[in-house]
Amino acid sequence: DGLPDARRMDPLKNNKVKLGESGVRNLFKNHANLPLEESMDAAWQDLMDYCCSKASDDMLLLGLEIPTAEKAP
C-alpha cells in the first residue's frame, strides 16, 4: 500500500493506472548510481511526476544505506 498504489490518469483509456511494484522498482533502478540522498530525492520526484503531485494515498519513502567493506569506517 502507498507507493505501488500511486496513480495517474491514462488519457487514452480515461482511467487511472497504478504505478505497481515493478514501477516502484524502476524508480530506484533509474537512480541507483546516485548517492542515497540524491537517489531518494530523484525517486520521489519521479513518483510525484507520475501522479501529477496528487497522491491518492499516504506514502512514505525510507532509505537505508548499508556500508560495504570498501565504505566501512
pLDDT tens, position by position, 63-73: 888 887 775 56
Cell numbers that stand for 14 in this block: 480515461
Contact partners, residue 23, CB within 8 Å, separation at least 6: 4, 6, 50
Ranges of beta strands (E only) in the chain are 7-10, 15-18
What does pTM read for this prediction? 0.73
pLDDT band at residue 18 under the 50/70/90 scheme: confident
Q: Which pLDDT score, from 0 to 100, does residue 73 have? A: 60
Please provide residue 22's backbone torsions phi and psi, each rounded to the nearest 5 degrees: -65, -35
C-alpha cell at 3: 507507493
pLDDT in tens, 45-64: 999 888 887 776 678 888 88
Q: Which residues pair with 18 in a beta bridge?
A: 7
